Structure 1
Amino acid sequence: MEALHNYWRKHPVVHSATMVVGILAGLLVLYSMWTYTRDLVAERATVRSEERAAIQACVNDGGQWVKGECFTPNK
């Protein structure tokens, strides 16, 4: 690590470029985490809305929604 520090002191442009690359890499990681989280939240919202629609259809048919399944009375 000391050798790298000495090299950077002798070559400040390389040091600056290394810092810029590090910052850009960090921003890329943050952006990737943000998009992954955004997509995950959107997917969960879609699943919830689909489940709500299934529950509503079950209740409209006279059934009961129990632990993720629709139970309708025997007709």
Structure 2
Amino acid sequence: MLSVVNADGTTSNGSLIDEIVRCMLAAALEAEVNAYMAELADQRDGQGRRLVVSNGCHHPRNSPQPPEPFRSRPRV
């Protein structure tokens, strides 16, 4: 993830340190999940399916905005 850093060391969303810490935590959590999944990859149920699977993740979706309210013209 790239972002513009201001002269005082901050980004538009917060301080540079906050961004670094957030990225480090995300990387540590991802590594922990990958290690857990690798440890239990060989465990299967009676039908041969894995007992532990990851749900995965998707990028956030943009929800459509509701249409503008209909404004009727006054009757004359």
* TM bucket, shorter chain: 0.3 to 0.5
Higher strand proportion, which one? Answer: 1
Scaled by the length of structure 1, the TM-score of the pair is: 0.44
Higher helix proportion, which one? Answer: 1
